Amino acid sequence: MNAAAAAPKKPSDFTNLQRGLITVALVTGPIMQVLDSSMLAVAMRHMQGSLSAAQDQIAWVLTSYLIAVAVATPLWGALTEHFSRKRLFIFGLLGFTLISVLCGSADTLTEILVYRAMQGVFGAGLIPLSQSALMDVYEQKDYGVAMGWWGIGLMFGPILGPTLGGYVTEWYSWRWAFFINIPFGIFGIVLAAAMLPSTLAKKRRPFNYFGFAMLSIGLASLQFVLDRGQRMDWLESHIIIGLACIAGAAFWVFIVNSVYSKNPFVDPVLLTNRNFVIGMLLRMVFGLMLFGSLILIPPFVQNISGYSLVDSGLILAPRGLATMISAYIVGRLVKYYDARKLIAVGLSLAALSAWEMSQLTADSSVYVMIGYIMIQGVGFAFFFIPLTTASFSTMAADQRDLGTSIYALTGNIGRSIGIAVLSSFLVRQTQTNRAHLSEHATPFNDLMAHVPMPDTWALDTTTGLAALEHTISFQASMLAYSFDFQLLTGILLCCLPLTMFMTNSLKVKKAVGA
C-alpha cells in the first residue's frame, strides 16, 4: 500500500454518494451482530433440544460469547494503532461470517461453545470500529446525522430478530439463526473493501501485554460473575466470591499499570475528558435499560398477557420502528439543540415508559402496551444519538478508536449488570410476593371466610387448592415485574442530573468551527 492510499481523507473530501455507501458498509457489521443475538435469543430452546443439553448447559452459549466480547472489545481499539482500520473491520466481518457457518454446523455442545467464543472475538470490534470510522467520514457538526443513520440501520436487528428468529426456528432450524449472517457478511465485506478509506494511526505505541492481560482477566471474571451469579445464588457460591475477588484485584493492578506505565494499554488521558467519562456512565445505563427491558417485556407479554413467542416479537417490533423514525429526526435536532437537553428528554421518556409499564396487568390492552413500548423506542433515540455525539465531541481524532472500544465495552457491562440485577430482583420479588400472598390465603383469614370466592378456589378440595396456588403464583409474578419496571424508572431518573455536567455540544461545535 502506498502512502497516498494509506493517508486519511478529510470529511469534506467525500461526496454524498461515497459517504452514503460507506455508512451502509459500516452499519452492515453491527446489523449482523445484533440480528444474530436477537434471533439466537428465540432459538435457544430449539438448540437445547437439538444438542441434548440441560438448561444450565445451554446458557453457556450466551456466557461464552459475552465473555469473549468483553475481553476482545478493548483489544480491537488498541490494534488500530498497528493495523489499518479498514483491514481490521473487513477481518472482523470475514471472521464473524465464517464462524457463523461453523456455529450453524455444530453437532455438539462443546463445538457450539468454542465457536460462539470465537464469534464473540470477531464480533467485538464491529460496533466500535464502525462508529469510529463513521466519525472520520462526517464533519463534527454532522455527527448527530451520522449516528442517526447508524442507529436506523442498527434497529433492523431488534425489529426483525425476534420475529424472524421465531419463524426460522419454527419452520426450518435454529441453525439458520447463524446461516442468515452469510449474505450480510458477503455484502458488507465487498462494500467495505470497495469504499472504506485506509487509515493508519499517526503514532504507534508499544503494545502493553501485561495491561491487556490484567484487563482481560478482570473483564472475564466480572462477566462470569454477572452472567452466572443468579444461577449460582451469588455470594452463596465460593466460585462467584472467588471470581469477584479476582476481578477486583485484576482491575486494581490494571489501574496501577495504566497510571505508572510509559505505554499503558488504555491511555489515562481518556479519563480526563469529562464528556467522555459521563458518556461512559450513561452508555452503561443505556445498555442496562435496553437489554434489561428485553428480559422483562417479552416474558411479561408471554407469561402474564398470554401471547405466543411469535406474537411477543411482533409486539416488540413497533419499538424498533419508533426508534428508527426518531433517530432520523434526532440526528438533525442535534445540530440545532444542546445534546444535554435531548439526552434529558430521552431519559424522561424512557422513565415514563417504564413507569407506565409497571402499571400493566394481565387485562391491559395490547394496544396500550404497544403505545408504552413505542414511547420507550422514542426515548432510546433521544438518549443514544445525542449521548454518542456529546461523548466524542471533545475527543481528539487519534483517541477515537480506543475511545469507541471503551465506550462499547461500558455498554456491554451495563447490559450484563442490567440483566443480572433485574433478573435477580424478578426471582426474589416473585418468591417474596408469593410468600406474602400465601400467608393470607388460609381458611382462618376473615376475608376468605366472608367474601364470596370463586367455586374453583374451594379450599377443601385438591383442585381448589391447586387453582388458588396458580393464582397466587401468577399474581406474585405480575407484582415482581411491576417492581422491576419501577426500579428501572428510578435508575433512569437518578441519571438525569448527570447530563448537567456535560459540556454544551453547541458551544463545542462553535469552538471547533472557529
pLDDT digits 0-9 by tens, 167-223: 777 778 889 889 989 999 999 999 999 998 877 665 677 889 999 999 999 999 999
**Residue type, position 200, single letter:** L
Place of cell 445540530: 335
pLDDT number for residue 324: 87
Confidence band, pLDDT 50/70/90 cuts, at residue 452: low
What DSSP string describes 85-105?
A: HHHHHHHHHHHHHHHHHHHHH
Tell me what percent of the residues of the chain surpass a pLDDT of 70.
Answer: 90
Amino acid at 498: L
**Angstrom distance (rounded) from CA 288 to CA 199:** 33
Span 157-174, mean pLDDT? 76
pTM given for the model:
0.85
Residue carrying C-alpha cell 465487498: 190
With cell 465531541, the residue in question is: 393
Query: Is the per-residue pLDDT at 444 higher than 70?
Result: no
Between 243 and 146, the higher pLDDT residue: 243
User: Mean per-residue pLDDT for 390-410?
Assistant: 88
CA–CA separation, 205 vs 185, rounded Å? Answer: 31
* Dist. CA 353–CA 335, nearest whole Å: 26
The mean pLDDT of 442-455, rounded to a whole number, is 62
Burial class, 132, CB count within 10 angstroms (exposed 0-12 / middle 13-18 / buried 19+)? buried
Tens of pLDDT, residues 229-273: 888 888 889 999 999 999 999 999 999 999 999 889 988 888 889
C-alpha angle 303-309-315 in degrees, rounded to nearest 5: 90
